Structure 1
Amino acid sequence: MDYQVRQALLDDTAAISELFKSRIGVWQRMDERGHAQDVAYQRLSLYERWQHGVHYRGAWMSLETGALHLNHLLGGAGMPLTVVQGDQGVVGYAEVYHGVEAPPLNGVLHIAQLITDPAAVGADDALIDYLINFGKTHDVQQVTLTRASDELLDAAVTRRFSLNAITCVRRYAVPTRAGQVFYRAVDHSDESPAQIHGWAMPIGRLTSAHHLWAMHMTRLWETIPEMRARKTHRLKFSAAGQDAFLYCRQNLYDLRTADVACWTPKGLSVQLVAAIKDWGQREGYRALHMNISDENVTLFGGDIEPEGYTQEICALEMK
């Protein structure tokens, strides 16, 4: 097959959105009793469509949000790539995030999305080949993906390469608590990923530091009422001489808990953990849900509760 891989264009939005929507078997909404109800796609709101897009695919569930998301990526948030086959047009799409993290990860190229038309045999190989070649010429030490987040992506990679687990994160409920620690937390509105160049992401790293910065720190979706209704904090922290950026979003069904992600220039410290717990209590949260790597768990004390969720981030090391 003769495939061309190129940067996505805004004109590709409809085709990319259709690739993602084609994988949704049934469109549903919740009725007043909390039961799932089958509904025609056209009758769903933007937010209801969004909820069908697991693993950060929500924006692609509608043409309107897909165009905004693609424009965000083209503006520097990520690398959107399409596979084009002659007159067939777009037959595949990959969404990739290139960033530099703290050692030992260093240059990371994270594949967040990869999807192709089932009839376009070999289109996934064309995308993977493009990314491998990009990595060799752009100081990439590791190409990464989140294990089992997408069957198509797993198959496209493992068919040709072996993957090494570079970190394992587990989800915990961390009780908030007043602490004897001095810290400063202020609202942060700068969305530039350049701020976390060379930084680590010790809390919440389910994909890559750069990808999750692009997903969490943008205010792009606050024009959707249901999104805006959930309290969201984007903060710059300073505790005991350590700086950090913190993202915290109130949970949908338990308003006294929230999900947290954190970026730091160094490893996590006990003082920063205490500051986050104290801040959470002052904001009225009883617990903060965090995805924590195994090497950092001991910093949180013995009262955290595992929630049974485990995720591996894997890498194909560049030679």
Structure 2
Amino acid sequence: MVEQITVREALLDDARPICMLFRSRIPVWQRLTASGSVESLPYDSLTVYERWTHGGPWMSIETAAIALGRLLNGVGLALVAERRGEIVGYLEAYPGYEPAPFGGHLHLAHLVTGGAAGPDAEIADSLLRRAGDVARHLPDKRLTVSLPSETGDDAQFYRQRGFAPLARVSRYLVPSKAGQGFYKVTEHTRSSVDQIDGMLMAFGRTESASMLWESVWVSVWEVIPQLAQRGISRMKLDASGHGVLICAQPVPHDPRIVDLWGWSARPMNPVLLTALRDWAHREKYHALRLIVDSETAGLFGTDAESDPFSRITFALQV
């Protein structure tokens, strides 16, 4: 007899079993010591931040409850799969409204069925079917997911279910540079996601615009002191009428370089690029680390350097 899998929207009471699903994928729990060495320790010996470094908010019940509460409050979709009353799978997704090629879509952030060997096909398919039902109510009836390559095991899993590559971004190191031009930078503290509806990500789009807004822009995780110390700046830059909301974070291992994420009504252009490089120069950064598509990369010139990092967005019409 085939055991039935049921899928439903998550409840706050599900935070602990969802947390356990994520934790089951971590084979060894470790801590970085003051001397720079790594030691393996029991899970209960680690702080909330040390658990976070293994995979974000789902590593501890304390932060898992906060993450799930935000999802249930409307920032995204949280689904659980049950078998015999036990939670055996979890799917998290974010609705987004961006210009082509993404359109109105539902972006998959997590699809977890426990263990480190990859998703259980039956459980995963049950969750994906329910997510597809939700995506059908969005303008472009599209599911998307971001993957590190077009050929890995994850890519094969999604290709078998009809997903196909839609967009690709790569990472570039762009030197800061004093430039001529008029632009204005102001602090921007408003965090509601509705203000980015219809915007694209001019740079930094490793996931969907709405998912990154929740994970990068929203400052809820800065209740953890070590995360508050990351030095993230949230601002609006206006360059000759081209406004962009920017999140800037110094690269942890090299604070002379700054990572940027940008939400804007228009793609990058030479005026905006000049303003970004000049801002970085004034802030004493040596370089910006920008993740962009190949068309935008054509603006950088010969002094920009690429590295092996890339992300590919796969999509499925439902």
TM-score norm. by structure 1 comes to 0.92
Q: Distance in 2 between matches of 1:32 and 1:142?
A: 47
User: Residues 65 and 290 (structure 1 numbering): CA distance in 2 closer, same or farther, change over 3 Å?
Assistant: same
In structure 1, the partner of 2:23 is 21
In structure 1, the partner of 2:169 is 169
Out of 96, 99, 119, the position equivalent to 2:96 is 99
Out of 102, 105, 110, the position equivalent to 2:107 is 110
User: Residues 287 and 245 (structure 1 numbering): CA distance in 2 closer, same or farther, change over 3 Å?
Assistant: same
Out of 63, 66, 74, the position equivalent to 2:64 is 66
In structure 2, the partner of 1:317 is 317
* CA positional deviation for 1:148: 4.2
In structure 1, the partner of 2:251 is 251
In structure 2, the partner of 1:193 is 193
Letter in 1 for 2:160: R
Q: 2:105·2:138 contact (CA, 8 Å) conserved in 1?
A: no
Q: 1:4·1:85 contact (CA, 8 Å) conserved in 2?
A: yes
* CA positional deviation for 1:73: 1.7
Letter in 2 for 1:192: S
1:5 is aligned to 2:2: no
* CA positional deviation for 1:239: 0.7
Q: Distance in 2 between matches of 1:317 and 1:130?
A: 14
Out of 51, 56, 64, the position equivalent to 2:53 is 51
Q: Distance in 1 between matches of 2:306 and 2:258?
A: 15
Q: Distance in 2 between matches of 1:75 and 1:183?
A: 37
* CA positional deviation for 1:155: 5.7
Q: Distance in 2 between matches of 1:209 and 1:121?
A: 28
1:158 is aligned to 2:159: yes
Q: 1:171·1:290 contact (CA, 8 Å) conserved in 2?
A: yes
In structure 1, the partner of 2:179 is 179
Pairing 1:171-250 to 2, within 5 Å after superposition: 171-250=171-250
* CA positional deviation for 1:194: 0.9
RMSD between superposed Cα atoms in Å: 2.0
Structure 2: 5+ residue stretches without partners: none
1:45-94 Cα offsets, whole Å, 9 max, x none, are: 111111111xxxx1001110111111122222211111122422x11101
Q: Distance in 2 between matches of 1:302 and 1:75?
A: 46
* CA positional deviation for 1:22: 0.4
TM-score norm. by structure 2 comes to 0.92
1:150-205 Cα offsets, whole Å, 9 max, x none, are: x88656533332x3222111111111111111111111111111111111112111
1:74-127 Cα offsets, whole Å, 9 max, x none, are: 222211111122422x11101101111012321121111000146976111111
> Equivalent pairs: percent with the same residue?
35
Give runs of ≥4 in structure 1 deviating > 4 Å.
Answer: 118-121, 151-156
Q: Distance in 1 between matches of 2:121 and 2:255?
A: 46
